[in-house]
Copies of this chain bind each other. A is one copy, B any other.
Amino acid sequence: MQNDDLLRLENQLCFPLYAASRLVTRLYQPLLEAHGLTYPQYIVLLILWEQDGLTVSDIGDKAMLSSNTLTPLLKRMQTAELLERARSEFDERKVIIKLTDKGQALKSEVACIPLQLLENSRIDIEKAKQLKSLLDELIGKLA
């Protein structure tokens, strides 16, 4: 493949990744907005629903985000009364994030969303699994 071909948009792996990610976010957006959530906030909730009481950097490790993104995001979620932020009493550097009742309760409200999106979009479930496993592998190599 010549350099010229390597620079064609259609031959880039980066662009479909970028485009697909934004398209999927757009798919979630109206459903999440109904619950006052943004997409990254939903990611944080997915993490906290699995394990509550994590520190900011614990969440950061899982979401691949750091404090410059997470601190303001978590503050907004605190303002929305979805979670509480409190310094650890054992290590004052750490901030422990705990879901409020409202944050916990949201779980059952949005539980239907993944399935709903899967059904509404005509996505082949086998191809989705294949895609996910290729993405996980890519992430493993880049993270």
- Residues of A at the B interface (CB closer than 8 Å) are 3-4, 6-9, 11-28, 39, 43, 46-47, 49-50, 62, 64, 107, 110-112, 114-115, 121-123, 127-128, 130-132, 134-139, 141-143
Contact = CB atoms under 8 A, between A and B. Distances in A.
**Most chain B beta carbons < 10 A, residue from A4, A22, A114:** A114
B21 A114 contact: no
B142 A138 contact: no
Contacts of A15: 43, 46
Contacts of A112: 3
B131 A13 contact: yes
Number of copies: 2
A49 B7 contact: yes
Nearest to A6: B114
Nearest to A1: B115
Contacts of A143: 19, 23
Contacts of A16: 132, 135-136, 139
A130 B111 CA distance: 31
